[in-house]
Amino acid sequence: MRPFAYQRATDASAALAALAATAPSNEPLSEAAIQPLAGGTTLVDLMKLDVMRPSTVIDINPLASSWSTINSEGGNLRLGALARMSDVAANPEIQHNYPVVADALKLAASPQLRNMATLGGNVLQRSAMHLFSRRQLRQL
């Protein structure tokens, strides 16, 4: 893995500003020099494979207390981007009122990965694109 700087986010808007500052305008966000680290199940993997090469990683897990809430007040289900797959699947309210969400989460990956992976990262991950994880192929 290439050397990189590690920072811990303490403030969501400061982290967003830092991420936005290096976001490339004509390339995917995955090419940005600064990448957010949540569960790490995709980012760390792709960094080890030398597919993603951030110079700085901002660990956004310290923001979890305000960004991992599960709220279904008023009939609308709101899931925090930093909520872990396992925590959402085990949430009694989700199991009772949204069993298909709990069941779907339990069918993904393994217990270890579900304990790490966040819903936000899950939505944003690009591993479904097989060529993406093969840097050489992308450069052909």
Give the binding site for another protein (CB under 8 A).
Answer: 6, 37, 40-41, 44-45, 57, 59, 61, 86, 109-113, 115-116
Nearest-approach distance from CB 140 to another protein, in angstroms: 28
Going through 2-128 in order, the beta strands assigned E by DSSP cover 5-8, 34-37, 56-59, 70-71, 78-79
Nearest-approach distance from CB 126 to another protein, in angstroms: 16
Give the separation between CA 77 and CA 67, rounded to whole angstroms: 14
Which residues touch 88 (CB under 8 Å, ≥6 apart)? 70, 79, 94, 101, 102, 105, 119
Among residues 78 and 96, whose Cβ is nearest to another protein? 96
Among residues 65 and 137, whose Cβ is nearest to another protein? 65
Among residues 56 and 72, whose Cβ is nearest to another protein? 56
CA dihedral 34, 39, 45, 48 (to 10 degrees): 50
Nearest-approach distance from CB 89 to another protein, in angstroms: 11
Among residues 76 and 110, whose Cβ is nearest to another protein? 110
